[in-house]
Amino acid sequence: MSIKTILIGAVIITAAAVSLVFLMPQSHVEVAPVKQTIESVAKPNVVNITVKTDGESTGITATPVSGSGKIPDAMIKEMRHKASADVLSDKSTVTSLKANINVIAQKYNYTAHVTLTSQFGTDKLPFPATVSGDSMLPTLKDDQNVIGLKTTSFKVGDIVIAHHSGYGLIIKRVASISDGKVFLKSDNRNVEIINSEKTLSDGAVEIETVEKTPFDTWQPKKNAIAVVKS
């Protein structure tokens, strides 16, 4: 009897042990409350910029679109200075001028919507230049100021300002356009004979004769940067 009791007790103990595995209390994990912080989102600083130029003077007008605070005077001054330089540059375009204005705007934490206006219309960039020499007489005189329109569109008969690898900027009339090239001619077709005397070491005098002919040239079409308008 005692042995059976012990065995039964062992079974009972074992069963109780097994039951304890399932009856163990689950661990309690406390979850800290999540703090929600709602921050106000500031409106971006957006400004409409109008660059107005006639090729001789350049101004900036700024109109706020969104954001807070006064538009910085330093930003407008910097934009005006850069826009004036771009108008005078033979390498600038409408696209590059607008990009330069936006770079300055970003420096002051602004986004700029830029419009260019001139005597030629919206987003039409004038280019001022001064004639040097008499090759375009009688149409254009030496030291005459002209205003060109930056464009890649021109036709035979137009007077254009173009890059030349040897002479820099030249002003000539378009005589022909062919295969991506443009033939530029001088209006002045006079041939000038220039005689000069040179005294040699033995006392002899040597006469040099130079024939000055009109300067005409074939250039890549892309070298023509502006059409003279006035």
In a domain, 159, yes or no: yes
Are residues 157 and 93 part of one domain?
no
User: Do 165 and 94 belong to one domain?
Assistant: no
**Mean pLDDT score of the chain, rounded to an integer?**
85
Residue 17 lies in a domain: no
Q: Containing domain of residue 116, as a range?
A: 46-122
- Cα(169)–Cα(24) distance, rounded to whole angstroms? 94
Residue 60 falls inside a structural domain: yes
147 lies in the same domain as 94 = no
Residues 182 and 197 placed together within one structural domain of the fold: yes
Is residue 167 a part of any domain in this protein?
yes
Q: What is the pLDDT of residues 36-70, one digit of tens each?
A: 554 545 567 999 999 999 999 999 999 999 876 78
Which of 102, 122, 142 marks a domain boundary? 122
Domain presence at residue 69: yes
Sign of CA dihedral 139, 129, 112, 64: negative
For the stretch 109-148, pLDDT in tens is 999 999 999 999 999 999 999 999 999 999 999 999 999 9
Which of 90, 122, 154 is the last residue in one of the domains? Answer: 122
Same domain, 102 and 85: yes
Question: Residue 222: pLDDT above 50?
Answer: yes
Query: Same structural domain for residues 109 and 134?
Result: no
Q: Rounded CA gap, 212 and 188, in Å?
A: 11
CATH number at residue 211: 2.10.109.10
**3-state secondary structure string, the chain?**
CHHHHHHHHHHHHHHHHHHHHHHCCCCCCCCCCCCCCCCCCCCCCEEEEEEEECCCCEEEEEEEEECCCCCCHHHHHHHHHHHHHHHHCCCCCHHHHHHHHHHHHHHCCCEEEEEEEECCEECCCEEEEECCCCCCCCCCCCCCEEEEEECCCCCCCCEEEEEECCCEEEEEEEEEEECCEEEEECCCCCCEEEEEEEECCCCCEEEEEEEECCCCEEEEHHHEEEEECC
If one counts the domains in the chain, the total is: 2
Does one domain contain both 111 and 140?
no
Indicate if 133 and 74 belong to the same structural domain. Answer: no
pLDDT tier for residue 32 given thresholds of 50, 70 and 90: low
For residues 155 and 209, membership in a common domain is answered with yes
Q: From 122, 145, 163, give the residue that closes a domain.
A: 122
Residues 112 and 150 placed together within one structural domain of the fold: no
Are residues 175 and 106 both part of a single domain? no
Question: Are residues 117 and 152 part of one domain?
Answer: no
Digit-coded pLDDT (tens) for 80-108: 999 999 999 999 999 999 999 999 999 99
Residue 150 domain-assigned? Answer: yes
Q: Does residue 4 form part of some domain?
A: no
HEC-encoded secondary structure of 109-135: CCEEEEEEEECCEECCCEEEEECCCCC
